Structure 1
């Protein structure tokens, strides 16, 4: 049981999502957080000191525990369901090639450098700090094939206080000579990585089994990774159907299986704990298989635009009741801010509309839901994260729309919803006043 002893109380405007299409704005609200980081109470319309004093008497907290938000507002932390930590080195560069050529020219060469732990520490420290400053409280990270560097990333995420799922990447074929593992090394090091990280006992930082994608993993490796994920009860992350050339390549590698999605299912890597990035070109039958297997999708619109991969029909995914969240996909996506993914989700939906005039587009409120509640479902923590509901962990951002030198202006007749919308479309890390993970202030 979580303790109800109050560590802090936030008083002011609170904004979160309970359903896809609607953002809930709680005015003059009070939210209490326990010493163990869980939300003890959420009370709207505490618009007088007398009402607040009644809450204070009920829970017995001291006045110095109260954080008055003033003109700021509270939103949930963002959940990035797909990011390549080592590729942050290349963020904002190398956007001139499609996926497979991009991997060969830019990505594999930089990832191979992470055998050097000093190089790895520099990049990993910067990417985790950047993610946190942009309000990402939970992130699914791909590391590299290197065991020590992957553990180093876990150390940095732990030190910074972020919630993270860390994956040592696995690839034992169709990879450059300077960046490839043997099958034996891959499974041995991955097992060691998973066991060591779980043995640390930090619930905030957990391993996630990470075959890069089907073309880069032999059947033997895929089989063993599926077995490992079952044995150690971990999440799984990989890529699927990002690019049409990739889809054809997989078809040539597995002519006896019906689809790309069937490949992962065949190796027990498409389960209710699986996060598949992109999914742009999945067939209706594959989407039905995702639903059947209760697998999740990490939607990465910025990357899909940048590398020319295509536009995922998120509305179709939602209509099939498949779990879906957002991913930055650094560095295919050039921004480490999940706000960029929120904005590009609306653009991607409009792009689908251009080819299908019956398509119902997704607005910013739905995109915000996907970045918070949607992400919580993808990482199998919907009962613990995503919004401000009693009993969930307090992962949050305090947003300051009036910050000096900020990216947008607020006018006298702007409503709280207007201001929130301006933050979604115009805001950046300058507006992120502070960040909390599990009730602890980390920024």
Structure 2
């Protein structure tokens, strides 16, 4: 047992979502890393006099972030500029990913640095695209396991329309997916495999069919891919799949949609497709820093929400320009404002924490309520004097959260805990 004290700022696990701002509140964390109780330090100390106390006085305790779309190899190409998505893939992405092969000291260092960056930004769960190389993906799982982070990780499947070193034949890909599944899926209840067709143009119909069959065989695996990000991409889909009525039907036809599927972007989507996304409860990961960087378009958050589509947030490093989900929320707010459909601070925090967990089927992550896993970040507003000044002038919890969304960054993340264990301390 241990007692952790601070000011709680989190979403209560209720619908409609509610924000709780609770100063000088203590969490009792049990031996399994779960929040057993919360209340005043004095009361909980009376009940558990031998429990050590960690007092984060004047700090905020915020749930750890869930980054639902990020690329491990693309860490090395953040900020690489190109006119749009497809030229960017050809000029920067594919050449970079060709270097992510094998179990080398270089790959081990890269995996640790990737985890360092996630933790430095308060991320406690990441949905990660590895390269198409099995050994690199296996190594990344190992580092996540060793470091204690939660991860939904996938070896990217691709067997066409990319440089030869990145392509993996269908039979080899499925064999490698099964090996990763057997070793890592469900490991320590923190790690899971995501079947990861890069996007429809990179996979032959036979490969997507095989991935759909593998998911049917192991329905608790996740699926992650890209969808409707760019106008040029949509035109390419029409050429490659002329029989499909729209982009979404390509994935539908291979049984790749459902409540454990995460589609990144979803910018250029007709209302009929939104209805089908909602019917299948397929998740859309909104990646605003990436969409703005590549000029892909403005995501229709409110329209998607009205149809009942689960919306979560992703940094999409490296088209995305930051590992920070605070920065991602900041840009998501601006995108919605440009569409004339503003979001509230609680909408944004929920999409990065509790609602993301719910969408992923994780019922005990993303909030600081009793019964939830003790996954949280400790935010020191004094690390940024302007943020401290703005928070002190705030008149409500929503204003405090808004200040964090627009001003907080990795300098403010003092400590990160996952499953009741401190994984990072600055």
Instruction: Confirm or deny a common fold (TM above 0.5).
Output: yes
Which residue in the other structure is 2:5 paired with?
Answer: 11
Number of aligned residue pairs: 418
- TM-superposed deviation, 1:363: 2.9
Aligned pair partner of 1:224 in 206, 210, 214: 210
User: 2 CA distance for matches of 1:363 and 1:414?
Assistant: 15
1:110-151 deviation line (CA, Å, top 9, x unaligned): 101111433322322211111111100000000011101001
Which residue in the other structure is 1:126 paired with?
Answer: 113
User: 2 CA distance for matches of 1:215 and 1:414?
Assistant: 48
Matched, 1:431 2:412: yes
> 3-state DSSP class of the match of 1:408?
helix
Which residue in the other structure is 1:250 paired with?
Answer: 237
- TM-superposed deviation, 1:20: 6.0
Matched, 1:315 2:302: yes
User: 1 CA distance for matches of 2:386 and 2:196?
Assistant: 37
CA RMSD of aligned residues (A): 1.8
User: 1 CA distance for matches of 2:278 and 2:375?
Assistant: 28
Aligned pair partner of 1:205 in 191, 212, 216: 191
Matched, 1:442 2:426: no
Which residue in the other structure is 2:286 paired with?
Answer: 299
1:22–1:180 Cα change, 3 Å: same
| Structure-to-structure mapping, 1:144-293, within 5 angstroms | 144-198=131-185, 201-232=187-218, 233-293=220-280
> 3-state DSSP class of the match of 1:402?
helix
**Contact 1:410/1:419 (8 A) holds in 2:** no
> 3-state DSSP class of the match of 2:235?
helix
1:148-183 deviation line (CA, Å, top 9, x unaligned): 100111111112211001100000111122321212
Which residue in the other structure is 1:138 paired with?
Answer: 125
- TM-superposed deviation, 1:419: 4.5
Which residue in the other structure is 1:53 paired with?
Answer: 42
Matched, 1:100 2:86: yes
> 3-state DSSP class of the match of 1:115?
coil
- TM-superposed deviation, 1:378: 2.9
**Contact 2:28/2:44 (8 A) holds in 1:** no
**Contact 1:20/1:369 (8 A) holds in 2:** no
User: 1 CA distance for matches of 2:73 and 2:403?
Assistant: 31
Matched, 1:389 2:369: yes
1:240-290 deviation line (CA, Å, top 9, x unaligned): 000011112112222222221111111111011100000001111111111
User: 1 CA distance for matches of 2:336 and 2:16?
Assistant: 15
> Which TM-score applies when normalising by structure 1?
0.90
Matched, 1:408 2:416: no
- TM-superposed deviation, 1:36: 0.5
**Contact 1:346/1:361 (8 A) holds in 2:** yes
1:341-369 deviation line (CA, Å, top 9, x unaligned): 1101101101212xxxxxx3113331111
> Which TM-score applies when normalising by structure 2?
0.93
- TM-superposed deviation, 1:437: 0.6
1:282–1:413 Cα change, 3 Å: closer
Matched, 1:339 2:314: no
Unaligned runs of 5+ in 1: 1-6, 47-51, 354-359
Matched, 1:364 2:364: no
Matched, 1:24 2:20: yes
User: 2 CA distance for matches of 1:34 and 1:153?
Assistant: 29
User: 2 CA distance for matches of 1:413 and 1:275?
Assistant: 39
> 3-state DSSP class of the match of 1:202?
helix
Aligned pair partner of 2:70 in 66, 75, 83: 83
User: 1 CA distance for matches of 2:49 and 2:189?
Assistant: 27
